[in-house]
Amino acid sequence: MRNSRDTLVMLLAGGVGSRLNILATKRAKPAVPFGGIYRIIDFTLSNVMNSDMEMVGVLTQYKPLSLMDHIGNGEYWNLYGRKRGIKILPPHTGEADSDWYKGTADAIYQNIPFMENYKPEKVLILSGDHIYRMNYEEMVSFHEKKNAALTIAAMPVPIEEAHRFGVMVTNESDEITEFQEKVKNPKSNLASMGIYVFNYNILCQELKNIVGQKKGFDFGKDIIPSMLGRHKLVCFKFSDYWRDVGTIDSYHSANMDCLNPDSGLDLYNWRLCTNPDEDRIGDKPPSFFGEYSASENSLISKGCRIEGEVKNSVLSPGVRILKGAKVTNSVIFSNTVIESGSIVDYCIIDKNVQIGTDCRIGEGENIANRQFPSHLSCGITVIGKNTIIPDDTIIGKNCIIYPEVILNNNNAGFVLKSGETVNYS
């Protein structure tokens, strides 16, 4: 059996998540909550655990504190012990031009000294911002069987979406003959998942030749194209559930997939782990359902109190839905309170939000957000962390209310039309 210790995992978790807008302004994208009790990075870390990988370097950058607190010493993913471990790797500092990672390849290049400590045969490079389950052992074994220098995991996507990805053309032996990084008219719909297995020595040499000489800083744009024709590159084809949750629409859709038994996303059987100390999840009591409550096709976490109605929604721990309130098609983060008589539809509501009585959130015309039309046009309204919404407020579709916004009782009856944004406290 192959020894998993000859493969070092490097997990890229420094993403800004700009298209997630206010959901990622206070946290790195991999730290955004998902599916009730999890964070997005839990899926990759659980895959590492279930694939019996033993040593992981986590490359952080943007707003890393909540992510670092979440990962801790790695014990909840069995990455803690004499031969197992997880190491947080922030950007190097000291020189102005190297304070921040300039791209995915630059991030790995800056951490060659860390990799040299382990002298691996192979390096498995992962992203921490996708929802999927994969056995990385199978991919590494495929890489070895093909005697490849680089193996890229890929899956077919709709051709109209292929321009968002690096795509590849392969021959009958799964060897990559062409690679295009996010072009308008791609030759293929076989999209890179951003999961790579490199032979360690070849990886270091390529990084030194390209990044070290400041010829480029990304794997998709620079490293992979430079290797074509000089090394053997192969494609590991993947066909199970995988979602890039980098937009508000895709993030909401993936949460709704948690409620659909036919979607392929199975939180119960994927052997997922998380940090139960966050929001004191482990100490939460069972959820309470009042005499007049109703729940249909929803994921309701521990510590919730449901006295109203919940349908087709995902609720994180500690959410309270009071009598007469109704929540549908929404994702609600921890400890948010929705007061009696309020109606919430197609919303994503961050932590610790207070919504007053008799509010109507998410109704009206489907007008794209005026300030961020490319981020929000799908009809979802997003409310930031620690916001207070007064009684009788009406908020339309595609609205954004920034974190920490506090509207006092003098603003009762406030109306926010579809497509508008509120950014003040």
Q: Reduce the DSSP state of residue 61 to 3 states and report it.
A: coil
Measure CA of the first residue to CA of the last residue in the chain; give whole Å: 59
Q: Identify the bridge partners of residue 228 per DSSP, sorted by sequence position.
A: 231
Q: How many whole angstroms separate alpha carbon 178 and alpha carbon 363? A: 47
- Which residue's structure tokens are 């957000």? 369
**Which of 37-60 are b and which e, b meaning 16 or more Cβ less than 10 Å from the residue's Cβ?**
bbbbbbbbbbbbbbbebbbbbbbb
Q: Are 47 and 11 a contacting pair, CB within 8 Å? A: no
All domains in the chain, ordered by first residue: 4-257 (3.90.550.10), 278-422 (2.160.10.10)
pLDDT of residue 96: 47
Task: Determine the distance from the C-alpha atom of residue 311 to the mean position of all C-alpha atoms in its chain, rounded to a whole number.
Answer: 24
CB atoms within 10 A of CB 146: 17
pLDDT of residue 92: 65
Closest CA to 179 of 157, 152, 156: 152
Q: How many whole angstroms separate alpha carbon 291 and alpha carbon 303? A: 17
The one-digit pLDDT tens for each residue of the chain (425 residues) are: 445 569 999 999 876 767 888 898 888 899 999 999 999 999 999 999 999 999 999 999 877 888 899 999 999 999 988 888 999 998 765 444 445 788 899 999 999 999 999 999 999 999 988 999 999 999 999 999 999 999 999 999 889 888 888 999 999 999 999 998 888 888 899 999 999 999 999 999 999 999 999 998 999 999 999 999 999 999 999 999 999 898 999 999 999 999 999 999 999 999 999 999 877 777 789 999 999 999 999 999 999 999 999 999 999 999 999 999 999 999 999 999 999 999 999 999 999 999 999 999 999 999 999 999 999 999 999 999 999 999 999 999 999 999 999 876 565 678 999 999 999 75
Helices (H), 51-184: 65-71, 104-110, 112-116, 136-146
pLDDT of residue 97: 45
CB atoms within 10 A of CB 116: 11
- Which residue's structure tokens are 């929000």? 376
Question: Do you know the residue count of the chain?
Answer: 425
Residue-by-residue DSSP string for 193-233: EEEEEEEHHHHHHHHHHHTTTTS---IIIIIHHHHBTTB-E
Cα torsion for 184, 186, 189, 195, to the nearest 10°? -90
Q: Identify the bridge partners of residue 321 per DSSP, sorted by sequence position.
A: 306, 338
CB atoms within 10 A of CB 169: 15
Q: How many whole angstroms separate alpha carbon 315 and alpha carbon 115? A: 40
Amino acid at 412: A
Give, in order, the Cα–Cα distances in Å from 374 to each of 243, 247, 248, 378.
Answer: 19, 9, 10, 10
Q: Are 16 and 376 a contacting pair, CB within 8 Å? A: no
Amino acid at 98: S
Q: How many whole angstroms separate alpha carbon 24 and alpha carbon 13? A: 13
Question: Which pair of tokens denotes residue 334?
Answer: 């921890």
Question: Which pair of tokens denotes residue 268?
Answer: 């119960």
pTM of the entire predicted model: 0.93
Q: Identify the bridge partners of residue 354 per DSSP, sorted by sequence position.
A: 337, 388
